[in-house]
Amino acid sequence: MSRRRFLGGAAALGTSAMLPGCEAGGREVLRWGSSSLGSSGYVIMEALAQSVNARSPLRNSSLATLGAAENLALIASGDIEFGHTTSVEMVIAQAGQRPYRRPIDFQQMFAYATWHMPPLVRGDGPVRTLADLPGRRYAPSTHGSGAAILHHALMRAAGIDDRLRWTYGSWTDAYDAFKTGRLDVVVGVLTNGRLSTNIMEAQAVTAVRPLEIPADVLGRARQENGGIFAAAIDPAAWPGLEGPVLAPLTVGILAVSPRVTAEQGYEVTRAIFDHADEVRRLGLLLDKVEPEFAVRNMMAQFPVHAGAARYFRERGLWDARLRAAQAG
C-alpha cells in the first residue's frame, strides 16, 4: 500500500492509523511531516530534519504530506511527531474548526519562515480593487489548505465570499489555468519576502500584480483568525511594483506532538540553533532560521514544548509572553 493510500484517512482529519516509528533494531525514528514535493515547506522540513540527524543522537525522517493542515491531523493521530504548519492552521486546529473534526492537541517548537499570500491578478486586467472581484474565478489552492482558509477569511471580511466563483486544485493546476486566462485570481506566495517560482513563471507569460488588501479588511480577518497578520510587500522584492503593497502574512511554526519528550525536544532545538549558520547555508528558504526570529514569532496562545523552552531560556532568549508546556 502506498503511503498516500495509507494516510488517506488523515486527509479527512479524523483517523488514527499508525506508521511504524522504529528502524531495524528497535531504534526510534522521529517523523517529520513536510508538505507537497518541492514546496517551500517540504524543502525547509527536509533541511531541518537532516540537520538534526547530523548534529544530534536522534534519528529523523521527513515525509511528504498534503501540507500544514494535514500535518496537525497526523500529529493528533500519532503518525508523525513534528510537522510544518503555519499560524493560520494552528488557530483553527486548536479550536477544532473545519476542516478538523475536533480540537487538536499540539505544542509549538519555534518559528522558521514567513509567507506573504496576496491575491494575484493580471497586471493589465479589469480587477483593480476588491470591489472588482465579485463574479470572478478565484483559486485559493486545495480545499482545507491554509491558503484557502486564509483567503476565505479575507473575503468574508470584505463581505464578498459568497459572490466569488471559487475553484480548488493544486498550485500547479491553478497557475496553469491563471496563465491561460481560465482563472482570474490565484494566491501569490512570497517566502521570507521572496517571490515564489510560480509567480516568476507567471510573470514570464503575462503581467501580474498583487491585489492590495485594505487594513480594515485585514483587521477583520485577523479577528476571525489570529494567525493572519498584515505586512507590506517590499517593492524591492517585486520588480514593477510602484510602492509597498499591504498583504496577508502567515508565520511558519514547527508543531510537535506532546508525546515528544523534553529531552528529545531539547536535542532537536539545540541541533538546529547551535548550528544555525550551517542550516541557513543550505538554501535561501532557510534564511530565517535564527534563534531570535524563532522565539519572537511564536504565538502566545500555544504552549511551547518543554525542550524548546529550556533551550531558549538557556540562551537568554525566552519571551515572557510565551508559556512553556509541562515536561512530558
Fold held by 116-250:
D-Maltodextrin-Binding Protein; domain 2 (3.40.190)
Give, to the nearest 10 degrees, the angle between helix 146-158 and helix 68-77. Answer: 120
For residue 99, the model assigns a pLDDT of 87
Q: Mean pLDDT in the chain?
A: 91
Domain spans of the chain, in order of start: 3-113+253-314, 116-250
Write the pLDDT tens digit of every residue in 4-24: 433 443 444 443 333 445 554
What is the rounded CA–CA span in Å between residue 260 and residue 256? 7
Q: Which whole number is the average pLDDT over 121-144?
A: 94
For residue 184, the model assigns a pLDDT of 97
CATH H-level superfamily of 3-113+253-314: Periplasmic binding protein-like II (3.40.190.10)
Write the pLDDT tens digit of every residue in 249-279: 999 999 999 999 999 999 999 999 999 999 9
Q: Fold identical between 3-113+253-314 and 116-250?
A: yes
Write the pLDDT tens digit of every residue in 51-74: 999 999 999 999 999 899 999 999
Q: Is the pLDDT of residue 88 over 60?
A: yes
Q: What global pTM score does this model have?
A: 0.90
For residue 322, the model assigns a pLDDT of 98
Residues 6+ apart with CB under 8 A from 95: 103
